[in-house]
Structure 1
Amino acid sequence: MQSLVLALLLFASPLLAQAEIIGMQVPRAVTEEEMKASLREIDLVDEKGAPLDLRALMANGKPTLVSLWAHWCPNCVGEAPGYKALAKACPQRWNVVFVSAIASDFPKDVARFKTFGLPWKFYRVADTAKTDIAKAKAARAFYGQTVEGAVVTPQHYFVNAAGAVEAIVAGRMNFAEPDRLAAFCGS
């Protein structure tokens, strides 16, 4: 896993060696630690309303990638070829979870996501974030809310096999790049 994080850092952005979050830097209303902790607190559901136990998934011994994604985001859509390469090269190596960056966009996000033919499911933050203050705070942190109340997309959480967030990458990643794909697939 350390080699993956190192490879990601090498190919992310050379400008951000001192950054808390790798990639696009924006003033955030939440801290990196709040963002990392949110993965253990957030409730996610699929298009049928079935919950995803993200905590259990992160504890299954495989690394996990959680990506905030939006149909209107050109960088999100631009990552599709890389995800296709990843799905072909090592679909079972990682748990991969896609989450709508804005819950109200969920139907459009799911529809667009399905056009790529990827093997993974798509989720949204559950409605508990509307009624429970702690869940609302977790959702705000999970989205990495900016001081303007916006969300940066795409945004990727890299979780190691022990369930700890090792990196948060804000911005487009090309998983089809040979060195990155090799690092991600462990080859």
Structure 2
Amino acid sequence: MKIRILLFTVLLPIAAAAQTSNFSLTGKIGKLDKPVMVYLDYMDNGVSHEDSSAVVNGTFSFSGTIKYISTARMAMAHQGEGKNTAIYKGDADAIYFDFGKEKITLSSNDSLSNAKFSGSIVYEDYQAYNKAIGGYFIDLIKAANAEFARGTPEQQKDTTYIKAQRDKYNQIWVVRSKKQFEFAKNNPHSYFGLEALSEASGHFNVAKLQPIYDALDEKLRATDVGVKLAQRLKSVSITSLGKTAPLFTMNNVSGKPVSLADLKGKVVLIDFWASWCEPCRAESPNLKTQYKLYKDKGFEIISVSVDTDKKRWLAAIEEDGLPWLQVSDLKGSNNAAARVYGVNGVPAFFLIDREGKIIGKDLRGEPLNKKLAEIFN
């Protein structure tokens, strides 16, 4: 017994040290009170964290320990309606930001959306970065939606108007990506240089990206974002057309492992998606049609969800009536298969032939239907 007490006494300071917080987020939002709740999700070097705080007399707080700079989403449920509603409702009071090992204060008279930050150098750098690349992505999306909404009801149904709005929106992102590329090139020691290159990677080939990546600070390349970007650059070659599709094994909705290797001999569509992704779910009716047409001829779909919430994942499968294979490790953007395949956004599709070779990438809608018709008819 004495030995056990001694060991406990020796270990106690170590445990206490491990629990010491190195960041805090304190908010003061007017005089809001119960049942108002604030929800915080943040990614710390590849590890996802969730927390919540009741708002009492306008005040809430979070604290914890992080290894590096973290990317966060904070949402407020003004009526206590729960996390998912607070995040995904049309007029969601949600903000996205990066923070470090700091004591940060948020203050506003009425909402998170109008909150001012103080005490965070990382947040100030984040704001400067967004200004340099042409704007915060949420603001750009809101502006695009607002511009579309200004069209008449007739215009909003007109394919020419819709295409013009979409083309204009896409061009904004192309320009933004070019600015991100230049920011990364000119700021190799900035975390946001790494983040810029990671976000811009979809618009540049490996030949242009690789030297910029190699010039980044070694410590930045060693972070999870840096490692993930390296994997994405590598994936360009290993997932190009004609290459053997990288194998993976992941649990299905019942927790049982499903392996891509077991599907050899079939034509397989690997579908990376998420319950919260509207374009993903908009494709579901077409996938159901194609699956019904060709499943008896050797066609299979394996949908890989990049969700983190199992209930939302399962609910989406049931709501959309998806009859094919469904797998996920519930690690969000850190989904193991998504990282190997270099998936930086969903939806993403890879079509695999009977020998396990990649014969199509990002085919959906009519291009997918045409390809499947060529194969099976």
TM-score under structure 2 length normalisation: 0.33
Q: Using CA pairs below 8 Å that are at least 6 residues apart, which structure has the higher relative contact order?
A: 1
Distance 1:175 1:111, change over 3 A: farther
Q: Deviations over 1:17-37 (max 9, x none)?
A: xxxxxxxx4468213234468
Superposition CA RMSD, Å: 3.4
Distance 1:178 1:42 in 2: 26
Shift of 1:81: 1.5
Whose helix proportion is higher, 1 or 2?
2
1:141 lines up with 2:346 in the alignment: no
TM-score under structure 1 length normalisation: 0.62
Overall identity of the aligned pairs, in %:
23
For 2:254, the aligned partner's letter is K
The aligned counterpart of 1:97 is 302
The aligned counterpart of 1:161 is 354
1:120 pairs with one of 294, 301, 324:
324
Q: Contact 2:244/2:356 (CA < 8 Å) preserved in 1?
A: no
Shift of 1:179: 3.9
Q: 1:90 is paired with a residue of what secondary structure?
A: helix
Distance 1:175 1:120, change over 3 A: farther
For 1:52, the aligned partner's letter is V
Distance 1:43 1:90 in 2: 24
The aligned counterpart of 2:312 is 108
Distance 1:122 1:52 in 2: 9
Distance 1:161 1:99, change over 3 A: same
1:182 lines up with 2:373 in the alignment: yes
The aligned counterpart of 1:54 is 260
Structure 2: 5+ residue runs without aligned partners? 1-201, 207-228
Shift of 1:126: 7.7
Q: Deviations over 1:33-83 (max 9, x none)?
A: 3446895343311122100121121x2x11111100111111101101101
Distance 1:46 1:166 in 2: 25
Distance 1:177 1:158 in 2: 9
After TM superposition, list the pairs within 5 Å mapping 1:10-29 onto structure 2: 25-26=202-203, 29=229
Distance 2:293 2:367 in 1: 10
Distance 1:40 1:176 in 2: 23
Q: 2:280 is paired with a residue of what secondary structure?
A: helix
Distance 2:330 2:259 in 1: 12
Q: Contact 1:45/1:123 (CA < 8 Å) preserved in 2?
A: yes
1:173 lines up with 2:364 in the alignment: yes
Q: Contact 1:79/1:175 (CA < 8 Å) preserved in 2?
A: no
- Between Structure 1 and Structure 2, how many residues are aligned? 145
Distance 1:154 1:49, change over 3 A: same
For 2:303, the aligned partner's letter is F
The aligned counterpart of 1:12 is none
Q: Contact 2:269/2:302 (CA < 8 Å) preserved in 1?
A: yes
Shift of 1:120: 0.7
For 1:84, the aligned partner's letter is K
Shift of 1:181: 5.6
